[in-house]
Amino acid sequence: MAQLNTVIHQPARLRIMASLVALEDKPQIDFSTLGKLLDLTDGNLGAHLQTLEEAGYITIRKRFVHRKPRTEISLTAKGRYEFAEHVAALKQILS
């Protein structure tokens, strides 16, 4: 039986990962957009992103656009794989 991923399984992180996987037309999303999309506070989102980054599931890139700071989040190949495995485990439990 496939195992659930304890890092991804937490509801906010599951929603973050699902949002990143759904980004088919763009490789990344900015911090503010992701926070608004998921209705998470900056602090809450930042803490969950740090956990996902430490696990190697996402990368966080900070840069300036027109002199304003911008934080961009993207999914790594490892993150995409682990999310697919987690979804497979959920499907197996449900069937």
- Tens of pLDDT, residue by residue, the chain (95 residues): 678 999 999 999 999 999 999 987 778 999 999 999 999 999 999 999 999 999 999 999 998 888 888 999 999 999 999 999 999 999 998 88
pLDDT of residue 35: 95
Which tens digit of pLDDT belongs to each residue from 52-67?
999 999 999 998 888 8
* This prediction's pTM: 0.91
What is the separation of C-alpha 30 from the centre of its chain, rounded to a whole number of angstroms?
12
Q: In what order do the strands lie in the sheet with 28-30?
A: 28-30, 68-75, 58-65
The CATH classification of domain 6-94, taken from the options 1.10.10.10, 2.160.10.10, 3.40.640.10, 2.60.120.10: 1.10.10.10
